[in-house]
Structure 1
């Protein structure tokens, strides 16, 4: 940045420029954090779905075993 005004004005401009850069970095980091959080939530949803399917399979196997046990014991 090339400043042609008073020293104080130049210092204010430099400060404002640095502030703008800091704010841009903060926004970039917030966007990155949001993307990471979204990815983690998607992973969590997939894990929950997998666990639900596993629980359903276990329940179906238990019912099948109960029916088999019932049919073998009643014969």
Structure 2
């Protein structure tokens, strides 16, 4: 999320939201998080990331390069 974007307020429903997330299936955003060394992921996401790395051992570099390019573009736009 960019700094200008409003942060969603789940209020008292945050526990309800978590109960609706299926943590037994991998999802793209948390798998991306695994490749970046983050902690906002679940075992299914880590397993999917491991399988992707087995197929392409340097795949995590694509994710990191993508993030780096986005950061550089953002900084360049801001001058």
User: Which has more radius of gyration?
Assistant: 1
One fold, TM greater than 0.5?
Answer: no
TM-score range, shorter chain: 0.3 to 0.5
TM-score using structure 1 length? 0.36
Relative to its length, the structure with more helix (as a share) is: 1
